[in-house]
């Protein structure tokens, strides 16, 4: 998969509010008390919308840290053909199972 574009916007007030715990998380993760890195663990993307037109997929929505919205994320990527084929195979199996259930209830 090729990531074409990745954008993140974090609310400055929320960033400042969570900066200390993010620094502690980075220090613990890297076993380095001198690190200047920040690690926002347990983040989740609440997808607002997506666009799957053409060869590129775009996904965007609110970024949540520990259940609190701290910003916004946008990701645009181009899946390779093998990934698309695997995804189609998974959903074809699911549709076939649904078809079997529906036929059994006729």
Distance CA 91, CA 98 (A): 10
Q: Is the dihedral of CA 38, 44, 45, 46 positive or negative?
A: negative
Cβ(45)–Cβ(73) below 8 Å: yes
Nearest to 39, CA basis, from 28, 52, 23, 55: 23
pLDDT, residue 2, reads 77
pLDDT, residue 100, reads 92
Instruction: Tell me the per-residue pLDDT of 36-76, one tens digit each, with 9 for 90 and over.
Output: 788 887 889 999 999 988 888 899 999 998 888 889 999 99
Least confident of 22-26, 72-76, 87-91, 96-100: 22-26
Instruction: Tell me the per-residue pLDDT of 16-30, one tens digit each, with 9 for 90 and over.
Output: 888 888 888 888 888
- pTM comes to 0.62
Is the predicted pLDDT of residue 93 greater than 90, yes or no?
yes
Q: Tell me the average pLDDT across 80-85.
A: 87
pLDDT, residue 66, reads 82
Give the 3-state secondary structure of residue 21.
helix
Q: Tell me the average pLDDT across 100-106.
A: 88
């Amino acid at each position: 998969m090729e990531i074409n574009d990745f954008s993140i916007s974090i609310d400055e007030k929320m960033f400042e509010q969570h900066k200390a715990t993010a620094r502690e998380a980075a220090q613990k993760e890297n076993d380095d008390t001198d690190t200047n890195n920040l690690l926002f663990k347990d983040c989740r993307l609440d997808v607002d919308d997506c666009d799957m037109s053409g060869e590129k997929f775009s996904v965007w929505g609110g970024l949540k840290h520990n259940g609190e919205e701290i910003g916004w994320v946008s990701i645009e990527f181009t899946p390779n053909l093998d990934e698309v084929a695997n995804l189609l195979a998974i959903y074809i199996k699911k549709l076939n199972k649904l078809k079997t259930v529906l036929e059994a209830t006729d």
